[in-house]
């Protein structure tokens, strides 16, 4: 396999710009060698730049989660919540794998992880900046510039995926300064191997989510299978385990306070380079309004489900999604205040201005902030209108379906696939079809109408200049919001799955001929949506000229190197095991122990550890797993590493490069860290590998896997149940 | 004044029996000298045995709270919640001292603290064991023994109080091994001098009650006044400040982790010497049942007040009282479990048995535990009946009033005051009259009936052999619980204050002639109540023979000295400033700071710090008050001292014997410490004197008091508001 020692952009970093933070690109790691050594890393830092070498060759993506290979037979360890879909897929009322956990004692007992389960092994990363933006004439208008870049990206993805068996992506780094194309081997036969009982894997449930102290055993095991030719293949009995080029060695020693840790994974999205004006608008407008709207919508949906189980079930996922948004947004908003985010950005921009003023070399940047700020003003000019319009579609799963289907008909009408909008190209059609199917269980006309009603009423409160014309017209024509809704829900087949499936293949004209009220509403909104899209593209084109300059200026003024915002690509972050002070008079120590499980256990609900585990703890069945410094078996630990959503399941490596834990969460006080990192407060939460090994050995009897991972078995002769319960 | 260097019982202690605990009698302190020196005390330990010397002469009781003199002009510092009654008494809707606080800038502005406000200065303690139990012939029956002891005590109190101006009490120590008579000067003219705003003095309210981290400024100032002759006198403009013989010097330096602290005060009641069987019954029966009954009664009362403000107000105090009981009992029950109380006692008793078996000298104790256990069995034989009967009276303030009045008539019929039951002697009549008055605002017939109904129904579920005969008869005669209640509330004047006042002077025959249904019910219950009382006295007599032997045996077997259970008399406890680990992964540090007030402040409700304080914190108006080790102004601190209810307001002394804080609470995890102390968990909460001085100086402008206490004033020239709000 070709070695990936990429050295693009002559970045010679010494320290991160804003404290002990950083989601570094693997190729940046060699230039951080001195810092890593100082922090405690014992292996050669150069190794982290080789994506197909040891250890990075073992770090993989599940699409939304991270994971790693831990045996030559393609055994994969990730979080319990990342493997949850596989448990759900294989559970029946008679065989409740979610609650009881699952252990395949042999490969024959392994279960298909379900449709859509994927393992992505990064095999190549190359700089395609020249082919994305390098060949775009500066003379193009902003919108044409944006379109040209978009077309270049589509072409690059298309040519990359043509051979098959791979998924390709062109991602923007440093705000459009650099474009990298990632090639990932896409393994389609993924099987469920082992997961502990829910009372271990999700111990603490929603109550403990984002919380410390934590006692969650958030791991599960999958296995990658390929065809006999070693290439990705659909599920087949004849498939064979994939043999990864590299695996991580699982450490049998726990980390301790102050110890070096490093996390490699696929963080999703951060906003570290948003400007003061941008975050200020989020803090004062977007976040509070989203919190209000999500709260109100959930209250509406909850009320409707109160005395109707079917309605409750139909809305459960939406409510849960809104609740997640609420906890996240509320915590982030608190973080905005606690971290003084606007002041922090204003200082950064003032420092930048001072630097530019005093460095003749930097004079070229002097208008950068003004230009960005002008564009930001432009982008929020219609935000009241755009926000309400967004929620109108979001609040009604039926309108959302109609909008997708109508847009699909428009895009399908285009002859060349490359002309189709991203998300509506041929490669996206299967995903759209899946979505049409999946939506069915959430379509509940009364709830749909109640949610939409709230936001239509909101639209009627918008000030002049921010009105949503097509909505105003529709309501006015019907004689009022309720009259409009009466007609809308009386004259639509969009709630019917077979009708929707048929619509997927219809032209815009055919859809119009149906005279379906919901499709008609979608069609009526579309010109405005397209106009907003066009404006966004225009802004995008303008920003793609100026933001790389902003990054250059920041890099120059900070005198060091920058890491790019997270964008779902492979990153490395390092730090140390460390607690924090969440509030005056309280210190969180960075490790928890088995005793905390006993203390939290309530034998029901979210704190329901399996009896086998409680028995093992009470009987001190812990020989071989007690950490000498801690005097106990460790469970979870805190570290200063810089992570976000998408990092779930990431291997945590110790100074020797061994897997000493799995990243699975951040603390509540860290919310806001997508925007700004406070080294004294921002912490990630990991499950300790020693706890995982102990449960596998002393509780779940997963001795076959321990042997496969080549770690000692202490309780292999004892008769232990196959799963914890 | 006569020096009180009491050396009764040749107790030569070295260490406390059960760890770092101990509520020591002042006279025991000299024998703990080595331990105190080792713990860090810098002054002569002997001084603590001199009750009229320095510093003990400055430690006083408010009756239910502790306090201390801090200026030669009779200035007293205690807790805010101990001076609350004085704020309540002086508040009007126009002048809300409770919310806004109060500061008398001169003595003329000081306000009467209200009726019943007392300051008790202990002037003498003497051993009266010989006159209480020493002269009781061993041949007396148990009940006659109990009566003889009771009569001896009454005689001793009577002769002591005869000269006037003093309150006397004979208290039992070491389970009846020793009786001490305390003489206290009773100062009746008490005035309110200063209290901070509620948002400081009760910052955190019920939410933070018993909680750490804490940020409560729980102090207030009173002043003792006496007649011109220096003797206690009723309130008069002509009275003069009392000049205490000794005062405490207020420290301007805060304590730090590990520092020695000592608390002198009047702890109310502990149960450290209850047996395994006794605490076992509390854990399995009394506490859970009390929790159930208090919960159910509060639910009933809350429901009734939901849509009726008058009812809500009438029941508010009872509900609050039950809530306090619930939080305390629930926490204590948790403590029983966490501290493995029964196992701890069983071990103590097993150790005792082993000691007795192996020491021929101790053979005399060999039957002690069996005898106590037999008596304990006897005492709970009818506990189902007795518990429900107790709640029947407790649940109905009207029946409680009727019972008190009926019993008063019986006791008044006795010619000699000494024959009257304790609590119904002449000295108690003013208190009973006060109670009759005070009850009026809580008498609400519908709530009364609803509560009583619940417990009458409970009585109907009692098993045979535990039935309450007079209740059964009354219900049966009426034809059912509800019929009985109809008649009961239709035919009583007990809710009428003037009627009750008249009843106070009536004979039993006159009360009977009223044919008042509530009085009749009280009269019907009385024979059973008297019978229960008689049985308790009989048990008391038996216990008074055996429990002193049990204490002797414990003392012998522990090889050291014992401290007696708390009994409302002056005690000393010492320890150090120390945090603790409330649960796995969390450490509570032992000091809080001003920043925590900002973080908790919500600008309303229970976390509503006054603006003047918030401004001072935000402006860093802290010069002269920043603790160098902490790098901040301290607020509250934790220590290992051993305290309980009654200790509130106790001065906390540092190694130099200076007042470095005021004890005001224990932690939630310490509940259960009335039974057993766990040195790793049990903590008391103090307000730091430095925080008090800072608020007085920088927030409330109480410079006159700072000067009176002879401490530096840093902000005396600034224009600060008279009170915080």
The answer to whether residue B214 neighbours chain A at the CB level (below 8 Å) is: yes
Residues in chain B closer than 8 A to A585 (CB atoms): 212-214, 588-589, 591-592, 596
Helices B445-459 & B383-395, crossing angle to 10 degrees?
170
Helices A383-395 & A287-305, crossing angle to 10 degrees?
20
pLDDT, tens digit (0-9, with 9 covering 90-100), for A477-527: 999 999 999 999 999 999 999 999 999 999 999 999 999 999 999 999 999
Residues near A96 by Cβ (< 8 Å), separated by ≥ 6?
A: none
Residues in chain B closer than 8 A to A591 (CB atoms): 585
Q: Please calculate the CA angle B346-B349-B350 and round it to the nearest 5 degrees.
A: 85
* Phi and psi based region of residue A221 (left: phi greater than 0; alpha: psi -120 to 50; beta: remaining): beta
Q: Residue A586 and residue B588: Cβ atoms within 8 Å? A: yes
As a whole number, mean pLDDT of residues B111-120 equals 90
Q: Residue A591 and residue B583: Cβ atoms within 8 Å? A: no
Q: How many domains does chain A have?
A: 1
- Looking at the complex, report in whole angstroms how far the Cα of residue A593 sits from the nearest Cα belonging to chain B: 7
The chain B residue lying nearest A591, using CA atoms, is B585
Q: What is the CA radius of gyration of chain A?
A: 26
Structure-model confidence comparison of residues A115 and A535, the more confident one: A535
The chain A residue lying nearest B594, using CA atoms, is A584
pLDDT, tens digit (0-9, with 9 covering 90-100), for B478-533: 999 999 999 999 999 999 999 999 999 999 999 999 999 999 999 999 999 999 99
pLDDT, tens digit (0-9, with 9 covering 90-100), for A547-574: 999 999 999 988 767 899 999 999 999 9
The chain B residue lying nearest A586, using CA atoms, is B588
Mutate to test the interface with A, among B584, B589, B600, B637 (most CBs of A within 10 A): B584
Q: Residue B585 and residue A595: Cβ atoms within 8 Å? A: no
- The reply to whether A625 falls in a domain is no
At residue A2, the pLDDT reads: 31
B453: enclosing H helix or E strand: helix B445-459
The answer to whether residue B80 neighbours chain A at the CB level (below 8 Å) is: no
pTM (2 decimals)? 0.84
Share of chain B above pLDDT 90, in %: 85
The chain A residue lying nearest B638, using CA atoms, is A585
- The reply to whether B209 falls in a domain is no
The answer to whether residue B213 neighbours chain A at the CB level (below 8 Å) is: yes
Residues near A430 by Cβ (< 8 Å), separated by ≥ 6?
A: none
- Looking at the complex, report in whole angstroms how far the Cα of residue B401 sits from the nearest Cα belonging to chain A: 43
pLDDT, tens digit (0-9, with 9 covering 90-100), for B387-440: 999 999 999 999 999 999 999 999 999 999 999 999 999 989 988 998 999 889
Report whether pLDDT(A461) > 60: yes
Q: Give B162's pLDDT tier (boundaries 50, 70, 90).
A: very high
As a whole number, mean pLDDT of residues A315-342 equals 89
| Length of chain A measured in residues | 725
A positions 563-602 inside 8 Å of B (CB): 583-589, 591-593, 595-596, 599
The chain A residue lying nearest B211, using CA atoms, is A585
Q: Give A717's pLDDT tier (boundaries 50, 70, 90).
A: confident
B522: enclosing H helix or E strand: helix B517-558
At residue A324, the pLDDT reads: 80
pLDDT, tens digit (0-9, with 9 covering 90-100), for A183-230: 999 999 999 999 999 999 999 998 999 999 999 999 999 999 999 999
Q: Please calculate the CA angle B516-B518-B519 and round it to the nearest 5 degrees.
A: 65
Catalytic residue (choose from A218, A516, A608, A700): A218
Three-state SS sequence of B659-698: EEEEEEEECHHHCCCCCCCCCCCCCEEEEEHHHHHHHHHH
Q: Residue A596 and residue B585: Cβ atoms within 8 Å? A: yes
Q: Give A622's pLDDT tier (boundaries 50, 70, 90).
A: very high
The answer to whether residue B337 neighbours chain A at the CB level (below 8 Å) is: no
At residue A707, the pLDDT reads: 98
Q: Pick from A215, A588, A595: which is nearest to B586 by CB?
A: A588
At residue A211, the pLDDT reads: 94
The answer to whether residue B667 neighbours chain A at the CB level (below 8 Å) is: no
Report whether pLDDT(B678) > 50: yes
As a whole number, mean pLDDT of residues A147-157 equals 96
Measured distance CA(B554)–CA(B356) in Å, rounded: 10
pLDDT, tens digit (0-9, with 9 covering 90-100), for B529-586: 999 999 999 999 999 999 999 999 999 988 767 899 999 999 999 999 999 999 999 9
Q: Pick from A213, A583, A585: which is nearest to B585 by CB?
A: A213
Give long-range contacts, CB 8 A cutoff, 24+ apart: A93-98: A97/A195, A98/A198
At residue A425, the pLDDT reads: 94
Q: Residue B587 and residue A584: Cβ atoms within 8 Å? A: no
Q: Residue B587 and residue A592: Cβ atoms within 8 Å? A: no
Q: Residue B599 and residue A583: Cβ atoms within 8 Å? A: yes
* Active-site residue, B714 included: no
Q: Give B320's pLDDT tier (boundaries 50, 70, 90).
A: confident
Measured distance CA(A87)–CA(A68) in Å, rounded: 19
Measured distance CA(B615)–CA(B607) in Å, rounded: 15
Residues in chain B closer than 8 A to A588 (CB atoms): 585-587
Q: Residue B587 and residue A586: Cβ atoms within 8 Å? A: yes
pLDDT, tens digit (0-9, with 9 covering 90-100), for B212-271: 999 999 999 999 999 999 999 999 999 999 999 999 999 999 999 999 999 999 999 999
Render the burial of B52-62: b for 16+ CB within 10 Å, e for the rest. Answer: bbbbbbbbbbb
Q: Give A94's pLDDT tier (boundaries 50, 70, 90).
A: confident
Q: Pick from A584, A585, A592: which is nearest to B585 by CB?
A: A592
Beta-bridge partner residues of B189: B225
Mutate to test the interface with B, among A585, A590, A632 (most CBs of B within 10 A): A585
Query: H helices within A91-204, ranges in order?
Result: 97-100, 129, 142-161, 198-201
At residue B20, the pLDDT reads: 60
Average pLDDT over all residues of chain A: 93
Catalytic residue (choose from B50, B218, B259, B665): B218
Residues in chain A closer than 8 A to B637 (CB atoms): none
The answer to whether residue B710 neighbours chain A at the CB level (below 8 Å) is: no
Q: Residue A591 and residue B599: Cβ atoms within 8 Å? A: no
The answer to whether residue B215 neighbours chain A at the CB level (below 8 Å) is: yes
As a whole number, mean pLDDT of residues B294-298 equals 97
* Active-site residue, A422 included: no
At residue B653, the pLDDT reads: 98
Q: Residue A592 and residue B584: Cβ atoms within 8 Å? A: yes
Domain membership of residue B400 as a residue range: 276-551
Report whether pLDDT(B446) > 70: yes
* Active-site residue, A81 included: yes
At residue B8, the pLDDT reads: 27
In 3D, which of B112, B61, B121 has the Cα closest to residue B85? B112
Residues in chain B closer than 8 A to A602 (CB atoms): none
Q: Residue B596 and residue A588: Cβ atoms within 8 Å? A: no
pLDDT, tens digit (0-9, with 9 covering 90-100), for B587-629: 999 999 999 999 999 988 899 999 999 999 999 999 999 999 9
Q: Give A317's pLDDT tier (boundaries 50, 70, 90).
A: confident
Measured distance CA(A26)–CA(A17) in Å, rounded: 18
Helices A445-460 & A481-490, crossing angle to 10 degrees?
150
Q: Give A20's pLDDT tier (boundaries 50, 70, 90).
A: low
Measured distance CA(A510)–CA(A523) in Å, rounded: 12
Contact A597/A637 with Cβ under 8 angstroms? Answer: no
The chain B residue lying nearest A337, using CA atoms, is B599
As a whole number, mean pLDDT of residues A298-313 equals 92
The answer to whether residue A214 neighbours chain B at the CB level (below 8 Å) is: yes
In 3D, which of A171, A71, A163, A58 has the Cα closest to residue A119? A58
The answer to whether residue A335 neighbours chain B at the CB level (below 8 Å) is: no
In 3D, which of B199, B188, B205 has the Cα closest to residue B121? B188
The chain B residue lying nearest A636, using CA atoms, is B585
The chain B residue lying nearest A592, using CA atoms, is B585
The chain A residue lying nearest B213, using CA atoms, is A585
- Looking at the complex, report in whole angstroms how far the Cα of residue B285 sits from the nearest Cα belonging to chain A: 22
The answer to whether residue A631 neighbours chain B at the CB level (below 8 Å) is: no
Contact A692/A219 with Cβ under 8 angstroms? Answer: yes
Report whether pLDDT(A260) > 70: yes
Q: Residue A596 and residue B583: Cβ atoms within 8 Å? A: yes
Q: Residue A593 and residue B587: Cβ atoms within 8 Å? A: no
Catalytic residue (choose from A71, A80, A81, A386): A81
The answer to whether residue A328 neighbours chain B at the CB level (below 8 Å) is: no
- The reply to whether A393 falls in a domain is yes
At residue B718, the pLDDT reads: 52
At residue A718, the pLDDT reads: 52
Mutate to test the interface with B, among A211, A338, A577, A584 (most CBs of B within 10 A): A584
Measured distance CA(A37)–CA(A655) in Å, rounded: 9
- The reply to whether A687 falls in a domain is no
Measured distance CA(B557)–CA(B248) in Å, rounded: 39
| Length of chain B measured in residues | 725
């Amino acid at each position: 396999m070709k070695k990936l020692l990429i050295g693009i952009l002559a970045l010679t970093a010494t320290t991160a710009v804003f404290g002990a933070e950083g989601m570094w690109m693997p190729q940046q790691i060699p230039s951080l060698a001195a810092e890593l050594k100082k922090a405690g890393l014992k292996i050669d830092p150069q190794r982290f730049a080789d994506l197909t070498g040891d250890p990075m060759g073992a770090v993989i993506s599940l699409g939304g989660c991270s994971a790693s290979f831990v045996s030559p037979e393609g055994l994969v360890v990730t979080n319990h919540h990342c493997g949850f879909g596989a448990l759900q897929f294989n559970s029946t009322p008679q065989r409740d794998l979610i609650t009881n956990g699952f252990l395949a004692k042999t490969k024959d007992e392994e279960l298909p992880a379900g449709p859509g389960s994927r393992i992505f092994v990064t095999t190549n990363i190359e700089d395609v900046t020249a082919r994305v933006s390098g060949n775009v004439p500066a003379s193009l208008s902003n919108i044409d510039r944006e379109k040209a870049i978009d077309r270049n990206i589509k072409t690059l993805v298309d040519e990359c995926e043509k051979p098959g068996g791979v998924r390709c992506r062109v991602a923007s780094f440093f705000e459009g300064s650099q474009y990298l194309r990632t090639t990932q081997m896409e393994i389609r036969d993924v099987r469920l191997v082992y997961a502990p009982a829910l009372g271990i894997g999700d111990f603490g449930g929603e109550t403990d989510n984002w919380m410390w102290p934590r006692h969650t055993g958030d791991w599960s095991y999958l296995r990658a299978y390929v065809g006999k030719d070693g290439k990705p293949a659909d599920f087949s009995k004849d498939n064979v385990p994939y043999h990864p080029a590299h695996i991580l060695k699982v450490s049998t020693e726990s980390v301790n306070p102050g110890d070096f840790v490093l996390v490699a994974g696929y963080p999703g999205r951060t906003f570290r380079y948003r400007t003061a004006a941008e975050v200020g608008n989020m803090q004062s407008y977007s976040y509070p309004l989203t919190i209000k709207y999500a709260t109100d919508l959930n209250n509406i949906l909850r009320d409707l489900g109160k005395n109707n189980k079917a309605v409750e079930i139909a809305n459960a996922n939406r409510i849960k999604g809104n609740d997640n948004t609420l906890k996240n947004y509320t915590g982030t908003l608190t973080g905005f205040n606690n971290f003084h985010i606007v002041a922090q950005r204003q200082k950064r921009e003032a420092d930048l201005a001072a630097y530019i003023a005093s460095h003749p070399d930097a004079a070229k940047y002097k208008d950068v902030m003004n230009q960005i700020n002008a564009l930001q003003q432009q982008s929020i000019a219609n935000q009241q209108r755009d926000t309400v319009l967004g929620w109108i579609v979001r609040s009604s799963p039926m309108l959302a379906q109609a909008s997708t289907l109508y847009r699909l008909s428009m895009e399908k009408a285009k002859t060349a696939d490359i002309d189709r909008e991203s998300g509506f190209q041929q490669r996206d059609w299967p995903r759209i079809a899946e979505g049409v199917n999946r939506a069915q269980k959430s379509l509940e006309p009364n709830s749909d109408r109640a949610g939409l009603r709230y936001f239509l009423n909101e639209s009627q409160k918008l000030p002049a200049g921010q009105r949503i014309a097509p909505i105003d017209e529709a309501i006015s024509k019907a004689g009022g919001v309720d009259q409009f809704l009466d007609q809308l829900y009386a004259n639509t087949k969009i709630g019917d799955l077979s009708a929707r499936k048929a619509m997927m293949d219809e032209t815009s004209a055919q859809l119009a001929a149906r005279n379906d009220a919901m499709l008609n509403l979608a069609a009526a909104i579309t010109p405005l949506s397209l106009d907003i899209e066009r404006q966004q593209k225009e802004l995008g084109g303008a920003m793609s000229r100026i933001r790389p300059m902003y990054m250059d200026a920041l890099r120059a003024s900070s005198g060091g190197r920058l890491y790019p915002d997270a964008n779902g690509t492979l990153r490395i972050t390092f730090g140390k095991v460390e607690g924090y002070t969440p509030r005056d008079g309280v210190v969180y120590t960075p490790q928890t122990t088995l005793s905390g499980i006993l203390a939290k256990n309530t034998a029901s609900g979210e704190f329901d550890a399996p009896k086998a585990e409680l028995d093992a703890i009470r009987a001190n069945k812990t020989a071989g797993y007690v950490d000498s410094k801690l005097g106990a078996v460790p469970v979870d630990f805190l570290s200063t590493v810089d992570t976000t959503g998408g990092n779930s399941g990431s291997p945590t490596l110790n100074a020797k490069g061994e897997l000493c834990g799995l990243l699975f969460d951040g603390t509540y006080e860290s919310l806001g860290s997508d925007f700004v990192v406070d080294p004294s407060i921002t912490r990630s939460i990991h499950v300790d590998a020693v706890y995982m090994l102990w449960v596998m050995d002393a509780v779940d009897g997963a001795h076959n896997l321990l042997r496969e991972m080549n770690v000692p078995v202490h309780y292999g002769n004892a008769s232990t149940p196959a799963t914890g319960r």
